[in-house]
Every structure is written in structure tokens, then in C-alpha cells.
Structure 1
Amino acid sequence: MLEVIDKGSVSQSHPVPLLFVHGAWHAAWCWDEHFLDFFAGRGYRALAVSLRGHGGSPADKKLRDLSFEDFVADITTAADALPTRPVIIGHSMGGVLVQRYLETRDAPAGVLMASMPPQGSLKSGLRWIRSHPWHFAKLTATGRSLPYVSTPELARERFFSPATPESVVRHYAARLQEESARMGLDGLVKLPHPSRVRTPLLVLGAADDGAVTQDEVRATADAYGTEAHIFPGMGHNMMLEAGWEDVADRIDVWLRSRRL
């Protein structure tokens, strides 16, 4: 019953499908704006899943109660429906879910884009408290976080670079949705174990990211024995920002180098 947007097909040069996993407040649509068509045009089969309670995917419990385990199970369901193990690509919260998925499942490769680090979301939460203490208090009391990320001003602060046109910020801010309140707790205690992951990973970050710092991106890369690639002038939503094609091209080049 999960919503999956599926474009392109595997080819002789790219026999492995790509499965894209969105972050908090988003759904599969964020990959369908640019990335799915880009990779389909390069000869890949590219799919994006909406985790339960997001986009067109129904939920079997209240959204506020959905957990990391629920979402990792959704990634597993989407991956297992494919004829071969896919490359898994996760953004933000989706990045930490991909890390959790890869602890127990094999994949030809993985990509972490502006991912929550293995150390969890504590530092990010503390930055939010310092910047907007009243917002944080209200979302903690109500379990509702959407009002505090979805105005154009707040969406730009968290998801987009200062150079992103206002029309773009407004368009995507209007598409954001409520997120599970359980995510805040799981991001503190349900941490990945990098030592359990054997999948080779490409780690990417954005210089003007309002959610994940460059140091956190580098900490993720260090945890997996690789180096981070930081894109200048980009905000957190690397798949939607101007310059998204540079990010997609970097992934394509890396996959080609691995014959995927």
C-alpha cells in the first residue's frame, strides 16, 4: 500500500535500481521534482517511496506514534519488492533510516544526503532550542511540528539557502506535511551502529544547511570510513535547490565508478 513513484528501467550499464528515501515533513514528491527523471534519463530505474503516513502512503496508527522501526520496515518492504537489491539513497531523517536499514540488510551501495549523523539529533535539537525556544516548547507540548517549519521564513531557515528564490521556497513550504512526534525521541535514542554496516557509502552535505552542519556531515563520513563532499551555496534540500543537478551528477559518477 506504500506510495512508490517509479521511473525508468534498469539497463545494461545500470542493472541495479535506485531507491530514494525522503526526510521529515516530506514525501516521495521531493525526489520526483528533479532526481527521478534525471536518473531515469541516465539509464537507471529510479524509485521514491513515501514512508507510511506521508504523501499517499496510509498509516496503520496515528502519525504522531510512528517510529524509526516503522519507517525502516517501509524501506525494507519497498526494497524487497524489487527483483534485485537496490542502491539506497536517503536524505536528512531518511539518511539515518537508511543507516538503520543497512545494519541488517545488504545493498550494493548507499548515499547519505545531508543526513542526520550516527550521533543522533541532540545537537540539532539544541540548536533549535537556542534559535526558537518558544517554538520548541510548543511543539514539545502539542506534538505538532509543522507550524514551525512550514512558513516561508522558517522553511528557508531550515531547508533552503539564502539565494533560493522566494517563489521556490513558498512553493515547497506549502507542500510540507506534519511529522511524527515520535521522531524526536527516536532521533536521540535509536541511533545507528556504523560498525554493523558493510555497504559502501557516499556522504554528501550542503554548505548552507540550516538543519545539519558540515561538521555533522563529516562526522557521518568519518563513522563510515569515507570522506564527505560538501556542495557550496546549497541548503538542506539538496534535491530541490538550484544546483541539484551537480548533486545528482556526483551520485551518478560515483555509481558509475562502482559499475552500478
Structure 2
Amino acid sequence: MPEALEVIAKGSATDSHPIPLLFVHGAWHAAWCWDDHFLDFFADRGYHAVALSLRGHGTSTTAKPLRRCSFADYLADIAAVADTLPTAPVLVGHSMGGYLVQKYLQTRAAPAAVLMASMPPSGYIASGLRWLRRHPWHFARMSATGRSLPYVGTLALARERFFSPSTPDDVVANCVARLQEESARSGLDGLYDRPRPERVETPVLVLGARRDGAVTELEVHETARAYRTTAELFPDMGHNMMLEPGWAAVGNRIDEWLGARGL
């Protein structure tokens, strides 16, 4: 049975921005994380802005249990939505979504891509070790049960991983209320199924956050080097760069970068 994927689309292509934007969310999130600010922001600037929820996220269905959904499944979802658009889109990926965008670009053409607080090409190992050191009991429970939502789904834990210390409580709480369980299989894929940057010719903008609790600055720079560019880091901002109070600065930088390329 084919998946029924949730897609939120706003705006229309214009002469200034003829290429659609396809936004890919990270783990535990869904299309809503782009809809809070980014979709309207880019639609108002003349873009056709589209966000999908990967299978088992948001209101997207999944024919098999979420815990067994793989990166290959998620990549098929991205391709399925991209193929509905009138032309190949610019890909914008956050966190796990940035990792998926890197893998997508190995085999499919795109005019450009933006990686926001993306997991690096070296995979999830370093991130997993940091989690293990910080919360060994959580990591043990996740490994035993295959469930990870309880260990990111409280105000304190979500702030630690996704937001800066200064982010207002209501912003964090609004995010926590919408987080969903993530695939255990995808976590394993992040250890072994790594991107191949040498196969990618697409121009890539790499953005990171200095108060990121999930991806380190060194990892953001690693990603940028892999794609032969320079990382840009935003101060006083946490992992969820599209939801933090400074999200508009991130949107403006993406708009500026795309505009300079006629996209």
C-alpha cells in the first residue's frame, strides 16, 4: 500500500524565485516545524514552499511499523514529493533531514541544497556517544525498548537538545506538545548508512547554531568541508533553528543565498 504523505505547501513560484523549495524535517518532528514560520516567510518572498512529513510523522501514514522505517523509506518519501513538483526543488534539510538530503543528493539532481544543523557525513556515532555520556540510563532504556520519545519529550530534555537556554518556555512547550516517536531503525541507519559527499556536485549552504545541544560546531564545520564550502554559525541559537526566536535571520540568509544564485 503506498504511503499517504502529509504535504503543506504555500506560495507560488515567481520570476524572481522560479524553483520550489522542499523542506525536510528531522527526527521526532514533522512538517509543522516548517509551517510555524518558514513556509509563510518564503511564500511571502515569492517562493513555492513545500514541507512534507516523512512516513509515520505528522499525519503521514506508514504501511509497516514506524520502528522499522529506514532511511531508504524516508528517501523514497522525499523523492515521491519532489516528483510531484513542476521542476527539481531546492532541498532544505534540518538535523536528520539534513542527513537525508545529503544522501538524496548522491543519486538525484537538485539546483541547490541547504543543511541546517545537519547531522554530519560521519554519521550518528559521536552524537550517540555524547547522549550516552550525558544520560546513560536514557540511552540504556532506548536501546532496550526501541523508544526514544520519552527521552526528548519533556520541557527540560527538549530544551537541552533542541533549544538554547534563553528560548522562551512557551516556544519549547509548543514544540514538545507535537513531538512524535522516531524509528529505531533510522537510528541504526545513522550509524552505518553514511552519505558520500564526493558524489555530490550540488551547491550546498551549511548553517549551524552555537548553542546546539545535538550537533557540535566541529560537526557543522565537518559537514561544510565535506561539501567544499564554509559553515555559517548563528550565535545564541539552539538546534531548532527554524523555531528559535532568531529564526528570521536564518530565513533571510537562505533567501539571500538562493537569490544570489537566481533561485
The one-letter code of the counterpart of 2:256 is V
TM-superposed deviation, 1:166: 1.1
- Residue 107 of structure 1, aligned match among 85, 107, 110: 110
Give deviations 1:2-52, integer Å, cap 9, x for gaps. 110000000011000000000000000000000000000000000000000
What is the aligned partner in structure 2 of residue 230 from structure 1?
Answer: 233
Output the CA distance in 2 between the equivalents of 1:170 and 1:19.
Answer: 26
1:40 is paired with a residue whose SS is helix
What is the aligned partner in structure 1 of residue 121 from structure 2?
Answer: 118
The one-letter code of the counterpart of 2:137 is W
What is the aligned partner in structure 2 of residue 216 from structure 1?
Answer: 219
1:78 is paired with a residue whose SS is helix
- Residue 197 of structure 1, aligned match among 200, 209, 227: 200
2:147 is paired with a residue whose SS is coil
Q: Which runs of 5+ in 1 are unaligned?
A: none
RMSD between aligned residues: 0.5
| Count of residues paired in the alignment | 260
Output the CA distance in 1 between the equivalents of 2:125 and 2:76.
Answer: 24
Tell me, yes or no, if structure 1 residue 29 matches structure 2 residue 32. Answer: yes
Output the CA distance in 2 between the equivalents of 1:158 and 1:136.
Answer: 14
- Residue 50 of structure 2, aligned match among 47, 51, 54: 47
Tell me, yes or no, if structure 1 residue 16 matches structure 2 residue 19. Answer: yes
TM-superposed deviation, 1:170: 1.3
What is the aligned partner in structure 2 of residue 94 from structure 1?
Answer: 97
What is the aligned partner in structure 1 of residue 153 from structure 2?
Answer: 150
- Residue 243 of structure 2, aligned match among 240, 243, 255: 240
1:12 is paired with a residue whose SS is coil
Output the CA distance in 1 between the equivalents of 2:85 and 2:173.
Answer: 35
Output the CA distance in 2 between the equivalents of 1:241 and 1:152.
Answer: 15
What is the aligned partner in structure 2 of residue 66 from structure 1?
Answer: 69
What is the aligned partner in structure 1 of residue 173 from structure 2?
Answer: 170
The one-letter code of the counterpart of 1:94 is G
The one-letter code of the counterpart of 1:122 is I
TM-superposed deviation, 1:171: 1.5
TM-superposed deviation, 1:198: 0.9
Q: Given the two structures, how large is their TM-score scaled by the length of structure 2?
A: 0.98
Identity, in percent, stands at: 69
1:230 is paired with a residue whose SS is strand
1:183 is paired with a residue whose SS is helix
Give deviations 1:137-173, integer Å, cap 9, x for gaps. 0010000000000100000000000000112111111
TM-superposed deviation, 1:183: 1.5
More divergent stretch after superposition (168-177 vs 33-42): 168-177
TM-superposed deviation, 1:88: 0.3
TM-superposed deviation, 1:72: 0.5
What is the aligned partner in structure 2 of residue 127 from structure 1?
Answer: 130
2:93 is paired with a residue whose SS is strand
